[in-house]
Amino acid sequence: MDNKAFYKEAEFLLGAAQLSQLPADHGFEVAFAGRSNAGKSSVLNVLCQQKSLARTSKTPGRTQQINVFNLDEQRRLVDLPGYGYAKVSEKVKKEWQDTLDSYLQQRECLKGVILIMDIRHPLKAFDMMMVEWAYRSGLPTHVLLNKSDKLKRGPGKNTLFAVLAELKPYADLVSVQLFSALKRTGSEDVYDVLDKWFDLQE
């Protein structure tokens, strides 16, 4: 099934500074998370086949918001804030951690998390925190090792296996794949995962 066209429909709905500002907890959501610079915006743009969809998330003041994109009336992509540039205070960081954790724990319509990492710097503290929180909430996580174009085939595969080994304790809910937003490789496998979570499979 070619459902690629469906994701082209993505349209910015709102940026929420607090969970209470999110749309009603109905339908299906898939959240995208990643440390700054892992390529989350690039991945969203590639998957949604739009040049600047996720630019919204980069607007100053919006970087610490949860940005919501509508696909149809029932389905949404959610761009979670990632911190990496330690420009925020510990207090703000803690507040955001609490918000993210609550979102993962409480959001009924959330069906899974796409966690984006730079293949050259996988499984940092933020990534492990997300994996653990999602796992604890019984949510599946699909990891994209992005920027795989930066490594040759052999080292890329070795990183994939090393990450899989590291995430073995979570293997029942975690999957991992190579991706390159630059080369646009790996999208088909992500669409398969999204289709499943969005209940779009034929």
Binding site for ligand GDP (CB under 6 A): 34, 36-42, 146-147, 149-150, 180-182
Longest dimension (CA), the chain: 47
Q: Where are the beta strands (DSSP E) in the chain?
A: 11-16, 28-34, 66-70, 75-79, 110-118, 141-146, 174-178
Backbone angles phi, psi at 124, to 5 degrees: -75, 175
Reference 170, options 113, 92, 85; nearest CA is: 113
Q: What is the closest distance, in whole angstroms, from the C-beta atom of residue 200 to ligand GDP in the complex? A: 25
Q: What is the closest distance, in whole angstroms, from the C-beta atom of residue 7 to ligand GDP in the complex? A: 17
Q: What is the closest distance, in whole angstroms, from the C-beta atom of residue 150 to ligand GDP in the complex? A: 5
Q: What is the DSSP letter of 200?
A: -
Q: What is the closest distance, in whole angstroms, from the C-beta atom of residue 36 to ligand GDP in the complex? A: 5
Q: Which is nearer to ligand GDP, 15 or 39 (CB)?
A: 39
Q: Is 138 helix (H, G, I), strand (E, B) or coil?
A: coil
Q: Which is nearer to ligand GDP, 71 or 80 (CB)?
A: 80
**The two structure tokens encoding residue 138:** 């019984």
